[in-house]
């Protein structure tokens, strides 16, 4: 049994090493694949804050992924067409600056998460799952009917956005940006898990009847977790749109919500690097199995089924053994 | 504002028709959750299997009736297989596991169907004896087939109601909804009951898939949007309640249909036409979820759900 | 005459035709242990839920330190000073013993909104938690996973969590449940000293503990308090004997 801490380190080192190897072997596509894995991992880390830590089975997290994507799409679109977003009551121009776009993506996803959370957290259990799924759908249909930004066909953004000091069109540079963000978020995630908030949230998940009796408000704890979770997934969405230079309603789809959850389960819920491992495995399966057969989803489905039925702790669980109660 | 009464009545009927078909899905889902405590995302796949079976059989035999029977049988059979192989292991697990496992089933069924039938939609035709318009008492012409759907749906609703309230199976279902362990202790064969309930839900889904498949197309992925709508219906109606499923389904069907047609018209009253069309359609697409949100603010467990 | 810390007045609660709580008035004074006993099905859990906040009574009042808390929720009452223990231990099984007590400490201090510093780095919280563990005798098990504890140790941990809250009153739901003779004796001795910190409303089945600890005993039968008195009074009461053993006793 490899200690989980070492496994985490190993995963991250590999994730950084592979693109470097690809760089030296002139395989830019591999770098793009790695970036895709990193962004998916980020989306999943976001969901895991609500799901793994808070026990909130949100089946509509694609809503935040899409909001982040469209935040980028809309801002960049207006920048590339030199038209302002809004002229009244004050002028808002588009922008192609990544930091600004990220900020907007995070704030809008956060607000959406607050509103969706306030409504959805009035319910528990199956109702919660169904409601979050329904909200995801709401955004999906809304984006399809929003013809101004492409509707069903989506929106293409011609040039990658800017990051101060780097040529973001170079694959390894963009990968480095995404990887740095992922590492930063993982560190914050780790800190949150060990903090008083993390302790309270984790306890609220395991033993809900206890929380109020010690003077803590479980609803507020869950709402905050849900908002943080939405913000992170929203950031991932903005990065994803930037990677593909394309944003479309599929970012809001229920399939996307399901996929984000799959990343977590494959790797292991409530494990710090579970989402990372899961996302990497998914992207590899997508690439290799997808190359073999266009029906590779059957294999994905079977693998997922086997993991759920027989390997509940995900891959990290299999390799690192039972979770060590960390303090 | 030129909205004719004809249009309004037509759209109301359309709303009822889509609602009642939604009821067939929602009834199965709510029964399965009510009795077994299981959230089943694969229900949409059973809808799809019913539609494909109907299209295949109709293509082979030319008989719509045989196609419908095949739809229910195929869906029920698939349901029984899935229940025995996979679902059974999920009853004791938490909702997350159930969601993931049944999501995995969606992937397997969807790609499996695509592999077997290809990516292009199949066609299921409305049989001649059911097609064509019919003149209603108020002088309106309305497609006969859609009226048939409404009638079939209402018949199923009545049938389900009788099943639940008048038969032994119904008693077991109602008792199971209240206390699972108790009825096992009282000697009811839980295993068989669960398989039966699952098969019943599956058959209803398959029937709905076939019936609707004749108006829309039969293609992979047709079930999931309906599934999610059915979830909205259950949230509105309350889990475990057939009555709630019916009322919720009709509400959702009407809101969706009427909203899509009339909201843009409404907006045209105070906006210029193209903006009205866009904003109206956008709002219409969200109308169901706004309805769901409104119900939840008022009753977090649905209109007829268990009060906590 | 001092005021009671905790009191209920004429509580009523029915579930359909079943009257689970019928005109129940009990009180808890500083420094005392007031035991509530009664046969199974008497309505003890329902009563506790109404006192601690999980259930709203149909009629009647619940007062804590003279304030009417009848229409407040569990959270408000916990903050106002009630600490309850559960009949079936409500502990986070995946966490360590220390983490469970820290939860109580975090709640007591009211500071879950800290996201970046480890909870263990907070000396105040740590010492509070460790003190509670020391008092119940679990200080050597602090790093153990709660699911690895024995049943008796889990009951001790239940009490430890309540201790961190430094409450005005304890409401304990069958703390002796499932404890062997050894465990009961230790816990009884512990509760004996605890009454001076905050009075205890003790719902129990274990008669040895009740007779050893209680200053007053109330007997709950079919939702009604049939008698309240000292240990000797209850022991010799005919009504109580009939309630437990039937009228031909």
Is the pLDDT at B1 greater than 70? The verdict is no
> How far is residue A291 from each of residues A255, A284, B140, C101, measured CA to CA in Å?
20, 10, 55, 53
pLDDT: which is higher, A51 or B297: A51
Is the pLDDT at B118 greater than 90? The verdict is no
CB–CB contact A210 C115 (8 Å): no
Judgement on whether residues C102 and C161 belong to the same structural domain of the protein:
yes
Of C166, C186, C221, the residue at which a domain comes to its end is: C166
Interval A196-249: pLDDT, tens: 999 999 999 999 999 999 999 999 999 999 999 999 999 999 999 999 999 999
Kindly state whether residue C87 falls inside one of the protein's structural domains.
no
Is the pLDDT at C1 greater than 70? The verdict is no
Is the pLDDT at C249 greater than 70? The verdict is no
Name which of A191, A210, A325 is nearest C94 (Cβ-Cβ): A325
Write down the pLDDT at residue B2.
46
Contacts of A188 in chain C (CB under 8 A): 116
Chains B and A touch (3+ CB pairs under 8 A): yes
Q: Which residue of B has its CA nearest to A260?
A: B100
Judgement on whether residues C189 and C242 belong to the same structural domain of the protein:
yes
Share the mean pLDDT of chain B. Answer: 88
Judgement on whether residues C155 and C220 belong to the same structural domain of the protein:
no
Query: What's the rounded Cα separation, in Å, for the pair B297 and A118?
Result: 10
CATH architecture of B5-298: Orthogonal Bundle (1.10)
C106 touches chain A (CB under 8 A): yes
Judgement on whether residues C51 and C103 belong to the same structural domain of the protein:
no
Chain C neighbours among A 187-246 (CB < 8 Å)? 188, 191-192, 194-200, 202-203, 206-207, 209-217, 221, 224
Residues B230 and B253 sit within 8 Å (Cβ to Cβ): no
Write down the pLDDT at residue B308.
47
Residue keyed to tokens 């993390």:
A198
Q: What tokens were used for C127? A: 């010492």
Is the pLDDT at C76 greater than 80? The verdict is yes
A24 CA: distance to closest CA in chain B (Å): 37
Average pLDDT over residues B164-181: 79
A205 CA: distance to closest CA in chain C (Å): 9
Query: What's the rounded Cα separation, in Å, for the pair A23 and A211?
Result: 51
Report DSSP state, residue A214. G
pLDDT category of residue A326 using cuts at 50, 70 and 90: very low
Interval B199-236: pLDDT, tens: 999 999 999 999 999 999 899 989 999 999 999 999 89
Interval A155-164: pLDDT, tens: 999 888 889 9
Q: Which residue of A has its CA nearest to B37?
A: A126
Query: What's the rounded Cα separation, in Å, for the pair C195 and A154?
Result: 69
CB–CB contact A202 C92 (8 Å): yes
Write down the pLDDT at residue C107.
93
CB–CB contact A327 C86 (8 Å): no
Judgement on whether residues C68 and C182 belong to the same structural domain of the protein:
yes
Contacts of A135 in chain B (CB under 8 A): 289
- The domain spanning residue C32 has which CATH number? 3.40.50.300
The beta strands (E) that lie in chain B are given as 133-135, 141-143
Contacts of B231 in chain A (CB under 8 A): 130, 133-134
Alpha carbon dihedral C106, C111, C113, C114, in 10-degree steps, equals -80
B290 CA: distance to closest CA in chain A (Å): 9
CB–CB contact A131 B96 (8 Å): no
Write down the pLDDT at residue A313.
76
Tally of domains within chain C: 2
Let me know if B135 is exposed, middle or buried by CB neighbors in 10 A (0-12, 13-18, 19+).
exposed
B80 CA: distance to closest CA in chain A (Å): 18
Neighbours of C (≥3 Cβ pairs closer than 8 A)? Answer: A
Kindly state whether residue C134 falls inside one of the protein's structural domains.
yes
Average pLDDT over residues A255-272: 90
Contacts of A212 in chain C (CB under 8 A): 53, 73-75, 78
Q: Which residue of C has its CA nearest to A207?
A: C92
CB pairs under 8 A between A and B: 120
B164 CA: distance to closest CA in chain A (Å): 23
> How far is residue B104 from each of residues A59, A288, A306, B93, B110, measured CA to CA in Å?
14, 19, 9, 16, 10
Judgement on whether residues C117 and C146 belong to the same structural domain of the protein:
yes
Q: What tokens were used for B197? A: 């309930």
Closest CA to B202 of B47, B21, B86, B20: B47
Is the pLDDT at A261 greater than 80? The verdict is yes
CB–CB contact C79 A214 (8 Å): no
Is the pLDDT at A277 greater than 60? The verdict is yes
Write down the pLDDT at residue C237.
87
Name which of C73, C92, C125 is nearest A207 (Cβ-Cβ): C92
CB–CB contact A200 C78 (8 Å): no
pTM of the model: 0.91
Kindly state whether residue C121 falls inside one of the protein's structural domains.
yes
Contacts of A130 in chain B (CB under 8 A): 39, 231-232, 234-235
Judgement on whether residues C48 and C17 belong to the same structural domain of the protein:
yes
Name which of C78, C99, C112 is nearest A197 (Cβ-Cβ): C112
Contacts of B104 in chain A (CB under 8 A): 300-302, 304-305, 308
Mutate to test the interface with A, among B32, B93, B99 (most CBs of A within 10 A): B99
Judgement on whether residues C61 and C102 belong to the same structural domain of the protein:
no
C125 touches chain A (CB under 8 A): yes
Is the pLDDT at A319 greater than 80? The verdict is no
Name which of B101, B110, B288 is nearest A305 (Cβ-Cβ): B101
Neighbours of A (≥3 Cβ pairs closer than 8 A)? Answer: B, C
Q: What percent of chain C has pLDDT over 70?
A: 98
Name which of B33, B108, B239 is nearest A301 (Cβ-Cβ): B108
Kindly state whether residue C86 falls inside one of the protein's structural domains.
no
Closest CA to C157 of C223, C224, C231, C88: C88
CB–CB contact A262 B100 (8 Å): yes
Judgement on whether residues C59 and C106 belong to the same structural domain of the protein:
no
Mutate to test the interface with A, among B44, B100, B105, B114 (most CBs of A within 10 A): B100
Contacts of A138 in chain B (CB under 8 A): 285-286, 288-289
Of C140, C166, C192, the residue at which a domain comes to its end is: C166
CB–CB contact B224 A312 (8 Å): no
Judgement on whether residues C12 and C30 belong to the same structural domain of the protein:
yes
* ipTM rounded to 2 decimals: 0.89
Judgement on whether residues C40 and C158 belong to the same structural domain of the protein:
no
Name which of B105, B292, B301 is nearest A301 (Cβ-Cβ): B105
Write down the pLDDT at residue B165.
87
Write down the pLDDT at residue C64.
93
Domain that holds residue C120: 93-166
Query: What's the rounded Cα separation, in Å, for the pair A110 and A112?
Result: 5
Among A37-51, B121-135, C131-145, the range with the most confident prediction by mean pLDDT is A37-51
Q: Which residue of B has its CA nearest to A261?
A: B100
Interval A140-185: pLDDT, tens: 989 988 888 888 899 999 888 889 988 888 889 999 999 999 999 9
CB–CB contact A127 B300 (8 Å): yes
H or E element at residue C100: helix C97-109
Write down the pLDDT at residue B307.
57
Let me know if A283 is exposed, middle or buried by CB neighbors in 10 A (0-12, 13-18, 19+).
buried
- For β-strands C169-173 and C67-68, DSSP reports them as unpaired
C114 CA: distance to closest CA in chain A (Å): 6
Mutate to test the interface with C, among A213, A220, A269 (most CBs of C within 10 A): A213
Of C106, C139, C166, the residue at which a domain comes to its end is: C166
Interval A52-107: pLDDT, tens: 999 999 999 999 999 999 999 999 998 888 888 777 677 788 888 899 999 999 99
Write down the pLDDT at residue A323.
61
Please state whether the peptide bond connecting residue C95 to the residue before it is cis, i.e. omega within 30 degrees of 0: no
Share the mean pLDDT of chain C. Answer: 90
Judgement on whether residues C63 and C97 belong to the same structural domain of the protein:
no
Is the pLDDT at B271 greater than 90? The verdict is no
pLDDT category of residue A1 using cuts at 50, 70 and 90: low
């Amino acid at each position: 049994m490899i200690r989980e801490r070492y496994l985490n380190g190993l995963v991250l080192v590999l994730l950084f090493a592979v693109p470097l190897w690809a760089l030296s072997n002139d395989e830019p596509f591999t770098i793009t694949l790695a970036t895709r894995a990193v962004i998916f991992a980020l989306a999943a880390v976001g969901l895991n804050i609500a799901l793994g830590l808070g026990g909130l089975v949100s089946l509509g997290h694609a809503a935040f992924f899409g909001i982040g994507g469209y935040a980028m799409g809309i801002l960049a679109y207006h920048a590339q067409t030199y038209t302002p977003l809004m002229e009244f009551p004050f002028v808002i121009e588009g922008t192609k600056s990544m930091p600004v776009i990220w900020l907007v993506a995070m704030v809008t996803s956060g607000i959406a998460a607050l509103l969706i959370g306030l409504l959805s957290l009035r319910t528990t259990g199956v109702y919660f799952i169904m409601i979050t799924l329904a909200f995801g759908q709401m955004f999906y249909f809304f984006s399809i009917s929003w013809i101004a930004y492409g509707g069903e066909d989506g929106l293409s953004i011609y040039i990658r956005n800017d990051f101060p000091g780097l040529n973001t069109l170079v694959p390894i540079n963009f990968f480095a940006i995404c990887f740095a963000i992922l590492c930063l978020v993982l560190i914050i995630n780790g800190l949150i898990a060990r903090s008083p908030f993390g302790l309270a949230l984790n306890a609220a998940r395991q033993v809900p009847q206890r929380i109020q009796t010690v003077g803590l408000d479980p609803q507020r704890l869950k709402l905050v977790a849900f908002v943080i979770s939405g913000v992170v997934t929203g950031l991932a969405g903005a990065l994803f749109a930037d990677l593909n230079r394309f944003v479309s309603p599929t970012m809001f789809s229920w399939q996307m919500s399901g996929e984000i959850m799959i990343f977590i389960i494959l790797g292991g819920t409530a494990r710090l690097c579970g989402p990372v491992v899961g996302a990497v495995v998914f992207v590899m399966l997508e690439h290799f199995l997808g190359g073999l057969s266009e029906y590779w989803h059957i294999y994905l489905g079977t693998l997922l089924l086997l993991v759920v039925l027989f390997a509940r702790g995900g891959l990290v669980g299999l390799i690192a053994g039972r979770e060590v109660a960390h303090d | 504002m030129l909205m004719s009464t004809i249009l309004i009545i037509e759209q109301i009927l359309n709303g009822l028709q889509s609602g009642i078909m939604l009821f067939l899905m929602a009834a199965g889902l709510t029964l399965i959750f009510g009795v077994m405590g299981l959230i089943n995302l694969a229900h949409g796949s059973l809808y799809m299997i019913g539609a494909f079976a109907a299209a295949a059989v109709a293509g082979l035999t030319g008989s719509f009736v045989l196609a419908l029977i095949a739809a229910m049988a195929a869906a029920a059979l698939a349901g029984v297989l899935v229940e025995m192989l996979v679902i059974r292991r999920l009853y004791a697990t938490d909702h997350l596991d159930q969601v993931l496992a049944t999501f995995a089933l969606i992937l397997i069924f969807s790609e499996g169907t695509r592999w077997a039938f290809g990516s292009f939609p199949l066609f299921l035709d409305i049989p001649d004896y059911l097609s064509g318009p019919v003149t209603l008492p108020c002088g309106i012409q309305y497609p006969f087939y859609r009226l048939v759907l409404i009638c079939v749906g209402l018949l199923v609703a009545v049938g389900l109601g009788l099943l639940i309230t008048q038969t032994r199976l119904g008693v077991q279902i109602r008792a199971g909804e209240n206390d699972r362990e108790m009825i096992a202790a009282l000697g009811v064969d839980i295993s068989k009951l669960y398989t039966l309930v699952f098969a019943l839900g599956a058959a209803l889904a398959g029937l709905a898939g076939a019936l609707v498949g004749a108006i829309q197309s039969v293609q992979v992925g047709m079930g999931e949007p309906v599934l999610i709508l059915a979830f909205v219906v259950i949230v509105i109606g309350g889990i475990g309640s057939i009555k709630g499923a019916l009322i919720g389904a009709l509400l959702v069907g009407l809101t969706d249909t009427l909203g899509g047609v009339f909201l843009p018209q409404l907006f045209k009253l105070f906006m210029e036409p193209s903006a009205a069309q866009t904003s109206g359609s956008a709002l219409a697409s969200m109308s169901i979820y706004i309805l769901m949100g409104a119900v939840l603010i008022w009753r977090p467990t649905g209109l007829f759900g268990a009060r906590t | 005459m001092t005021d009671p810390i905790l009191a209920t007045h004429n509580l009523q609660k029915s579930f359909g035709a079943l009257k689970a709580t019928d005109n129940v008035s009990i009180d808890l004074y500083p420094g005392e242990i007031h035991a509530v006993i009664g046969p199974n099905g008497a309505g003890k859990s329902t009563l506790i839920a109404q006192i601690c906040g999980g259930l709203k009574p149909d009629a009647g009042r619940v007062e804590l330190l003279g304030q009417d808390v009848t229409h407040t929720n569990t959270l408000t009452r916990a903050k106002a000073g009630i600490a309850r223990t559960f009949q079936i231990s409500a502990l986070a099984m995946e966490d360590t013993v220390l983490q469970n007590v820290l939860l109580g400490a975090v709640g007591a201090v009211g500071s879950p909104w800290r996201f970046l510093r480890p909870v263990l780095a907070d000396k105040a919280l740590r010492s509070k938690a460790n003190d509670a563990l020391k008092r119940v005798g679990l200080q050597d098990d602090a790093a153990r996973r709660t699911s690895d504890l024995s049943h008796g140790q889990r009951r001790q941990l239940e009490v430890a969590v309540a201790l961190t809250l430094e409450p005005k009153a304890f409401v304990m739901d069958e703390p002796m449940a499932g404890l062997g003779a050894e465990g009961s004796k230790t816990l009884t001795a512990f509760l004996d000293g605890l009454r001076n910190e905050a009075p205890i409303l003790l719902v129990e089945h274990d008669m040895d503990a009740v007779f050893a600890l209680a200053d007053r005993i109330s007997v709950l039968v079919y939702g009604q308090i049939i008698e309240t008195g000292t240990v000797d009074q209850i022991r010799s009461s005919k009504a109580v004997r009939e309630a437990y053993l039937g009228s031909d006793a």
